[in-house]
Chains A and B, each alone.
Chain A
Amino acid sequence: MIDDATLSMLKKKAQWFDIIEVSGFSEPVSFKNSRIHSIQHKKNLGYGVRVNVGGKTGFSHTNDIAGLSRAAHRALELAPFGDPENFDLPQNGEAPWSPFNPAIDGYSLSGELVKGESVIDSLKGEFPGAVVDIGISSSVSAARLVNSRGFDQSYQSSHYSAGVSLTYIFPDGSKVDIWEGLSSQKPEGLEEPAARVREKLLNAMKTVSCGRGTVPVIFTPRAFSRLIGILLTGLNGRSIHKKISPFAEKLGERLFNPSLTITDDPTLRNSPFSYPFDDEGTAAQRKNLVEDGSVASFITDLKYASLLGLPPTGNGTRGYSTLPSPSFTNVLVKEGSAPSGSMIEGMKSGILVDQFIGLGQSNTLTGDFSGILDLAYRIDGGAIAGRVKDCMITDNLFTMLAGDFTLSSDRHQAGSFYAPYALFPSLNFSC
């Protein structure tokens, strides 16, 4: 509980402060090795206290329901060691909306057990050798933020997520792992992810050889999202301030092909990744990060906005146990004009990439990446010929996105990303 005694103590001793209270519970159901394995009930609550004394900031946290006052005192002790910080906390605003769907109450353990078992039955029925794991979870959480300028708001959020993963081992000992999932504010059916898993496995049943050199490559929305994730690192106000982003001082410059527009949007009402205000109280806002190929904005929290002389974008997010830091919410990559089906049909010979392993472990600050293709297919004459294995794409993402590419007219959800398929005419491919 955020108690009055702690609030008045902080008002006396701190120049400013904010307290975040996060609580929630979830009931995850997990199927392992094609059978129910465990049901969990998880409950948590915690407080984070940030205080500024004489211009310097200290922070402490606790998950003891009676521990707020202790945490506040620890934060005050730490403050003298902090850096000077100079920004204003938000004032109280209108009552917020909630990224919450009451249909989350329809989550029932027995219902989810039936859903999971029916997916397992149907996949195992068709592929007896497959091993299926399913994780389903529903969580309801609440966030409350109180600060020294009178801000006191809270909201509820609901999040349903499910993942179906399948492992299939071929007679020669080689194997394929396929994963499909969904995220929503309310319980959903598992038919769609299960159908996608099935389709991908059918396509991967045959392994085909592949050449090396430069080839045309289509990335699925999921694979393309992973690549866009590398680009986003450089659009974070934190990397801009530290001058480790290639995009510092490039605001407004056209660095990419004009067909590239990327938007960060925490205001999408139906997404479980949305919020009415960020974890410092700044109102959520939709903004283009890349607009028609130009660098349009960097995401910030209060600290990095003040350091960079930019407006706060409402991207300061945290749990109760850490200080805020800028992070992305729903990321939308603008669609193109070609249906993905016709992109594949129009490809004489090339590669379709769906899952990487090892992406992002290279020196990604410069756009260089190197990804083993965990799940990828060779396309011959406009159709999937089979799976390619032990292959790798090594290229520079920024060069790729500055050059020619085609985006599909259909977009698909991949975690918190909504992205199209992307076709690059010539990438460096090794086997």
Chain B
Amino acid sequence: MSALKQIAEELWGLFVDDGLVALAFFGWIVIAALLLPRLHLAAAGGPVLFLGCAAIVVFSLLRAARR
């Protein structure tokens, strides 16, 4: 049972090592899903999604460096 628990924890750890970063990504994805298709950005929609994700990574790195 403990081996299964460890495997489950390892699987979770594959994707989430900082809960705040994961939460920020989910928040941005929800905003992007609701907002970006309505803004009629044409081919700029994808790049805007990327910029939001890039901003989250930058802020998470600056936060990690301060700790």
* Chains A and B are bound partners: no
Interface residues of B, Cβ cutoff 8 Å to A: none
Chain A positions near chain B (C-beta within 8 angstroms): none
